[in-house]
Every structure is written in C-alpha cells, then in structure tokens.
Structure 1
C-alpha cells in the first residue's frame, strides 16, 4: 500500500521578530510558530491530501493572519480538491476570504500572503501557487522548480527579489488572481520540496540540491533549515518535504 510522508518545519529566522508563515498538511496546520525539530506525518494515499505553505507579505500588516486564514481554509477544503478546477476555485475562495477579513478590521487592511503547495491524488499531483513561494521536484537528476514565481523580471546579476506581482489579498481594493495550477504524474519514490522564500532566497539551488541528495525526511528538513540560518536567516523559513512511499 502506497503512503505519503510529510516532514515539516517552520521558524522565524534570525532577523524577524515573529513568524508570518503558515503551513498545512492534510487536516494539520501550523501557524505563526517555531518548530526547530522537524515533524513527520504519514498519510494513506487515496483521499486528496493538500500540503502547502503560505508566506505573509512582509512590510504590510498582519501577514500572519492572512497566511493562517489561507492554510486553515485549505485544510477544510482539502478532501474536495480532486481536480485543477477545484484547486483554482479554492484559491479564489482564499483570496476573497483574505480581502473580506481585511475589510472588517482597519488593522488588517492590505494584509496578504503568498501560497504554494500540492494536492496528492491516487495517481497524480496537483501543483499550485500564487506568489513566490515554491514547489520543487526533488525526484530527478537535479532539483527542478515546478511552480511559477509571480515576480517581476530580475536585472542581470540579481538572483532574488522581495517583490511579487500577485498574492492573496495585499491591496486596498479587491484584486482577482490567476492561480498557477498544473498536474504531474505520481509514482512511488517521488519527492517534492514545498517552501517559502525564506529558504530559497538565502540558499542557492545547487546547495539545496546537494542537501536533498544527501539526506531524507527529518534530517533533510533540519539541514535545509540550518543552511538558511547559516546564510543569515534573513526571513521566516517554512518548508515541507513530501514523499511517496510503498
């Protein structure tokens, strides 16, 4: 019987005074907290299982509220996410929920979040994102990004940017989104990394690839987190390692 493993970790980093990231794995959510010790969950393969990270937009109020609202909505909708269209509709619901919550409280005005993740189905994977949090395929010969960054073009010589071209919420007036959603085949042994830019901005992709080739599950999550901390830990760090076993 095939099964799903999810190893997750979330940490504020070294420079931020609190964690605005959130995470969902099936019915389990982790919001605005710190877990230096990776947690591994095991799920049966069958019912749609959503695994995602949400990164509250820095420099704007209540990013942790927007990210928590998003992952809790996805946790509730997770078992119904059986198609690309269902995922798009769920992300649009999350976007409206963030704007609705912001409209009720002036202290939440312009709060927003990115989101990236995957829904594991019996024979396939639905990959999705809005913003610059990422989904990376670890299965092949090299790390391969399968999400689509919503970021402006980078000038020559620059590897990262804090700007995003779309997010859930984040503006004074409602703005519709166009989620990125794609389907990939699923086989035993597949591995994916789902993470916020607190990992991918400070740590080059070749270093991430080396760590994921060398380690698995909890040790891999710990080493990824440590690499971001050793690079200065400039942002909140949240990641989920998704694996298919049998």
Structure 2
C-alpha cells in the first residue's frame, strides 16, 4: 500500500529564549516546544493529510499563541479539505481565529503568524503559504525548487534574505481576508517535500539544503538540516517537516 512518511522536528535555536513555531502533521500538533530528535510518522494514502509549519511573528506579543491557534485549526479542519478553495477558506478561518483571540487582549494585540504547508490527497498535493515560511519540492533529478511564494519585499543589496513580511495571519493591520498562495502537484512515488520556517532558510542557503537532501534519507536529512542552521548561529526557531511518498507500507 502506498504511504506518506513525515519526518519532523522543532527547536528553539541558539538565540531566542523560547519557541514561537508550531507544527501540524495530520491530527498531531507540536506547539512551542522542542524535539530533541527527528520524529517520523507514517500515514496510508486515502484520507486528506495536512502538514504545516506556523512561525509566530517575532517582536510582537503572543507569537506562540497565534501559531498554536493556526496549527490546531488546521488539525481539526484537515480531514474535510479536498481542493484549493477549501484550503483557502481554511486559512481565512485561521486568520479570523487569530484576530478573535487577540480581541480585547492588550497582551496579545498585533499577534500574528506565518504558515506554510501541504495538503496530501489520493492523487495530488496542494502546497500553500501565507508569509515567508516555505515549501520546497525535490524532483527526480534531486534538484530543489521552492513551490511556495514569499510574502516579503526583495532583500537589500548585499543581503540574501529579509525579515520583513507583507502578509501574515493576524498581525497589526486590522482584520482583512488573506490571499494565500496555492499550487497543485501530481503525486509520484519518491517525491519529497520540505516544509519549514525561516529559522532554517535564513541561515542555510538553498544549495546547502539541496546537498543535504541529495545525500541523506529522511531522518538523517532532518538532523543535518537542523545542524546546518545551528552551525550557522541558530538565530531563530527552527521547524521543519520532510514529506516522502513511498510505495509499500
């Protein structure tokens, strides 16, 4: 029977004093905590499966609250999702949930979060994101390609990345619907996807991520990606999920 393997971890990094990232893999969520080693979960094909990372906004109160709200909403909504319209609607429900939770709470004012992830269906995969957390795909040749679309301005000259975001769930702009980025892909045996927060991609260049994925299987790859971010200074929370389509369970 075909299966889906998801290998994930979440770590505070070396600079932040707490983890504002959250993770959802099907019914399983990990919110604002730390995994010491990559964990792998196996799922059979047949039911919708959401795998997503939410990265609470740094510099604002309640980032971990916003990211946890979003992944818990996606865990609950995941079994009912079946196309791009339903995913877009779900992300706007998440957006409203973040605003509603902050209403009347000065300690949570302007809290927000990015989100990026995948919805795996029997014959396709939908990638989605709001903000600058990312989804990557590796093709048969091992080449890494980003399939999410960053909601961020171009980096300044001489810089590889930027910390600014132009669209998030919640945040300080006042309530308005978000416009998620959505893309659909046909599933094939051996496909691999990487969903991650910018705690991985800001310090670790794409070519280094690609090199790790070319060489290592899922568990070792997740560890080596985390280690690369730590070796680069671990400036932010690091959360990632590797998704692989297998042939026989």
Partner Cα separation in structure 1 for residue 47 and residue 160 of structure 2? 38
Matched residue, 1:230: 231
Displacement after TM superposition at 1:36 (Å) = 2.1
Displacement after TM superposition at 1:155 (Å) = 2.8
Displacement after TM superposition at 1:172 (Å) = 5.3
TM-score, normalised with respect to structure 1? 0.98
Partner Cα separation in structure 2 for residue 152 and residue 63 of structure 1? 21
Cα contact 1:45–1:122 (8 A) shared by 2: yes
Partner Cα separation in structure 2 for residue 223 and residue 145 of structure 1? 19
Alignment of 1:26-175 (within 5 A): 26-141=26-141, 142-171=143-172, 173-175=174-176
Q: Secondary structure, in 3 states, of the residue corresponding to 1:104?
A: coil
Q: Secondary structure, in 3 states, of the residue corresponding to 2:103?
A: helix
Q: Secondary structure, in 3 states, of the residue corresponding to 1:43?
A: strand
- Give runs of ≥4 in structure 1 deviating > 3 Å: none
Over the aligned positions, Cα root-mean-square deviation in angstroms equals 0.9
Displacement after TM superposition at 1:173 (Å) = 1.9
Kindly provide the CA deviation profile for residues 79-122 of structure 1, in whole angstroms up to 9, marking residues without a partner as x: 11100000000000000000000113211110000000000000
Cα contact 2:67–2:113 (8 A) shared by 1: yes
TM-score, normalised with respect to structure 2? 0.97
| Residue 4 (structure 1) aligned with residue 8 (structure 2) | no
Kindly provide the CA deviation profile for residues 40-67 of structure 1, in whole angstroms up to 9, marking residues without a partner as x: 0000111110000000000000100000
What is the aligned length?
246
Cα contact 2:154–2:162 (8 A) shared by 1: no
Q: Secondary structure, in 3 states, of the residue corresponding to 1:213?
A: helix
Cα contact 2:118–2:127 (8 A) shared by 1: yes
Cα contact 1:49–1:120 (8 A) shared by 2: yes
Partner Cα separation in structure 2 for residue 126 and residue 172 of structure 1? 28
Query: Compared with structure 1, are the counterparts of its residues 15 and 210 closer, same or farther at alpha carbon in structure 2 (3 Å cutoff)?
Result: same
